[in-house]
Amino acid sequence: MRAFGYVAAKDVEHAVALLGEHGAKAKVLAGGTDLLVDLKSAADGPEVIVDISRVDELKNITIVDDGLRIGALVTHADLMRSPIITNMFPALADAAHSIGAMQTRNLGTLAGNLVTCVPSMDSGPALIALDASVTVAGPSGQRQMSLADLFVGPRKTSLKPEELLIDIVIPKENLGKPVAFEKFGLRKGQALALVNAAASFWIDRDKSAFAAPRVALGAVAPTVIRAPKAEAYLAGRKISAEAMAEAGRIAATEAKPISDFRASAEYRRDLIAVLVKRALAKAQARAATKEKELVA
């Protein structure tokens, strides 16, 4: 590990100023669960670490005018404990629970998991299925973009060196939307996903049909992806187990899985079909449970 400087940011403005000063020579420290591994193994490390872990304004989960705002420093454990998340989007808590060990979940942040841009990340699919956006702060101010546009390739984001991801926003129109997350790994805990999947949809009560369906997949392409053909098949179609199974089969054709020492591409395609069907069924079950709670 090569020597580096260290600066603790006081707030977002200070962090952005530091990143603007040092550019590509700087790395951001939030939870540190990924960064510390990189520092030990990288041949060419950063010249300075910008520590944002004490910026309290990035640690909140709040309902705001444009939707649900999750601060960049919210940890996976925070997501699991949050009454807002567990009531409105339990799939996000499910995904958080599947990440690493307890120590990792206590330290690792949601934004940190996203900006690593690992295709098998567990936090990405459910957020993509909810049309989440991210807010990015830079020297010229703040901008918003879809979470999908953040992902460029394995370990590569669209962030500029002087920019900082400061929050994730689930849009107002999707608050309470039924969503489910499924993951399959080689063991039950502390495992990278061979495939993970998320699905969300509203229910058109008049037609008992899928409305605004979203299907997202991880670990089967260079980035987390949506399955637009599967979504188009579901849209307006009567809800049934057969439709869910067919959507899974269609989603499998949209992915680009690889064969490696953990699984073959063919096996991963089979998993996609199964996990998408399960995610859709779980989202339907959650919608039914929520409806019963409202009636009661």
pLDDT score of 156: 96
Mean residue pLDDT of the chain comes to 94
pLDDT score of 43: 67
All structural domains of the chain with their residue ranges: 5-51, 56-174, 179-290
Residue-wise pLDDT for 245-271, tens only, equals 999 999 999 999 999 999 999 999 999
Grade residue 40 by pLDDT with cuts at 50, 70 and 90.
confident
pLDDT over 70 (residue 111): yes
Fold of 5-51: 3.30.43
Fold of 56-174: 3.30.465
**What string of H, E and C letters represents the secondary structure of the chain?**
CCCCEEEECCCHHHHHHHHHHHHHHEEEECCCCCHHHHHHHCCCCCCEEEECCCCHHHCCEEEECCEEEEECCCEHHHHHHCHHHHHHCHHHHHHHHCCCCHHHHHHCEHHHHHHCCCCCCCCHHHHHHCCCEEEEEECCEEEEEEHHHHEEECCEECCCCCCEEEEEEEEHHHCCCCEEEEEEECCCCCCCEEEEEEEEEEEECCCCEEEEEEEEEECCCCCCEECHHHHHHHCCCECCHHHHHHHHHHHHHHCCCCCCCCCCHHHHHHHHHHHHHHHHHHHHHHHHHHHHHHHC
pLDDT over 70 (residue 296): no
pLDDT score of 36: 83
Residue-wise pLDDT for 49-60, tens only, equals 999 999 999 999
pLDDT score of 82: 98
CATH number of 179-290: 3.30.390.50
Same fold, 5-51 and 56-174: no
Average pLDDT score over residue span 210-231: 98
